[in-house]
């Protein structure tokens, strides 16, 4: 089994995090107290991860872990219940996701992984925060509008999703959250609720800062329709490369990827979205800029270029696939990973809720044995 160092690449000049300008809710000037830097991120166990998830989230977590950041990761199984699901499949997805994170290089001695539902304080804090949030504000959030349009009966959980997300973050007193631009409004809500709570009950939570990746990882498009993001929910499995795809499947999907009638390999997302999507993926695989990929591919037409990209993807992903399969053969070990993560997260959650209950006036029996 190859060492993790072979799978973890340093962040180059093309891979940066930014705090978006013009969002006053996230201004560090609003921080009256200096909180220790802590990064939290959650991921739903709703299916096998694809390369968009890998480059946009998991690889970044590994990079932050290796740079010495204080990072904690949770599997957001409660969030995955906001839409119809099968219990047996959810259970399998949890194991699959845990194995994938480990195979990609997450070291649980440095970065704990816990299952959201094993920390009941998340739901408890969600209720407290919901009493500080208005229905009007929740109804305006884009995720609710988007997902509620897909179902006939709208579950309350879907409406409350952003409040639980805020509880996930505030529970562990995180200062930074990696995210995509489409999640900014939910993080604004979390920052807003932290401010409301602090103003009403005394300073308890840091005001979070979003961390937005500034490379192509947040813009990986569908291989079948470059106008759409690569997604786990796309009905066509040909639209995405998943972390457990075999070498043959990867080659087939890249070969069939939509491009155009121009044979030259160029990076022009607006006018050539298909080939630019492939170049962007390739740049992430090789950890270089899209222009460098184009310069290296001057002698290739798009057909031959696809073959090169496919082989580079196989070289990166196949060792990870084999590691995932090895981990899935040992469910007891995966259980132990989640148990250790739960124990770490529970200490923070207990301390936070003890403080919260004291501040809001419901700590009457808190010190009774």
pLDDT tens-place values along the chain, 369 residues long? 334 334 444 444 344 555 444 333 444 344 457 899 999 999 999 888 999 999 999 999 999 999 999 999 999 999 999 888 999 999 999 999 999 999 999 999 999 999 999 999 999 999 999 999 998 888 888 776 676 666 777 788 888 999 999 999 999 999 999 988 878 888 999 999 999 999 999 999 999 999 987 666 667 999 999 998 888 778 888 999 999 999 999 999 999 999 999 999 999 999 999 999 999 999 999 999 999 999 999 999 999 999 999 999 999 999 999 999 999 999 999 999 999 999 999 999 999 999 999 999 998 887 665
Q: How far apart are CA 258 and CA 274, in angstroms?
A: 6
CATH topology of domain 237-327: Tyrosyl-Transfer RNA Synthetase (1.10.240)
Q: Do residues 93 and 334 make contact, with C-beta atoms less than 8 angstroms apart?
A: no
CATH 3.40.50.620-classified regions of the chain = 12-219+331-360
Q: How far apart are CA 220 and CA 233, in angstroms?
A: 15
pTM score, whole prediction: 0.87
Q: Do residues 186 and 141 make contact, with C-beta atoms less than 8 angstroms apart?
A: yes
Q: Known catalytic residues? A: 147, 229, 232
CATH 1.10.240.10-classified regions of the chain = 237-327
- Check the CA dihedral 122-20-175-136 and report its sign: negative
CATH architecture for segment(s) 12-219+331-360: 3-Layer(aba) Sandwich (3.40)
């Amino acid at each position: 089994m190859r060492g993790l160092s072979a799978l973890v690449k340093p962040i180059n000049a093309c891979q940066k995090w930014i705090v978006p300008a013009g969002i006053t809710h996230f201004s560090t000037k609003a921080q009256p107290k200096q909180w220790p830097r802590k990064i939290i991120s959650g991921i739903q166990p709703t299916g096998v991860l694809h390369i968009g998830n890998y480059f946009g989230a998991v690889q970044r977590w590994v990079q932050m872990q290796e740079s010495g950041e204080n990072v904690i990761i949770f599997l957001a199984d409660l969030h995955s219940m906001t839409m119809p699901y099968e219990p047996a499949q959810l259970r399998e997805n949890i194991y699959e996701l845990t194995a994938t994170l480990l195979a990609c290089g997450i070291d649980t001695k440095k970065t704990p992984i816990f299952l959201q539902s094993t920390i009941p304080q998340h739901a408890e804090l969600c209720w407290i925060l919901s009493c500080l949030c208005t229905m009007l504000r929740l109804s305006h959030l884009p995720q609710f509008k988007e997902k509620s349009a897909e179902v006939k009966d709208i579950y309350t959980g879907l409406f409350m999703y952003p409040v639980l997300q805020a509880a996930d973050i505030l529970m562990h007193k995180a200062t930074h959250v990696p995210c995509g631009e489409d999640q900014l409004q939910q993080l604004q809500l979390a920052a807003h609720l932290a401010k409301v709570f602090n103003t009403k009950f005394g300073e308890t939570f840091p005001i979070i800062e979003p961390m937005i990746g500034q490379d192509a990882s947040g813009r990986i498009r569908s291989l079948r329709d470059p106008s759409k993001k690569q997604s786990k929910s796309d009905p066509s499995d040909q639209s995405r490369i998943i972390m457990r795809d075999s070498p043959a499947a990867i080659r087939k999907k890249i070969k069939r990827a939509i491009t155009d009638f121009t044979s030259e390999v160029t990076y022009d997302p607006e006018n050539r979205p298909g080939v630019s999507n492939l170049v962007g993926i390739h740049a992430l695989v090789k950890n270089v800029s899209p222009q460098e990929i184009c310069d290296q591919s001057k002698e290739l037409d798009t057909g031959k270029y696809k073959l090169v990209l496919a082989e580079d993807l196989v070289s990166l992903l196949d060792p990870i696939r084999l590691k995932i399969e090895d981990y899935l053969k040992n469910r007891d070990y995966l259980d132990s990973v989640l148990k250790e993560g739960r124990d770490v997260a529970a200490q923070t959650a207990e301390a936070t809720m003890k403080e919260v209950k004291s501040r809001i006036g419901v700590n009457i029996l808190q010190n009774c044995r």
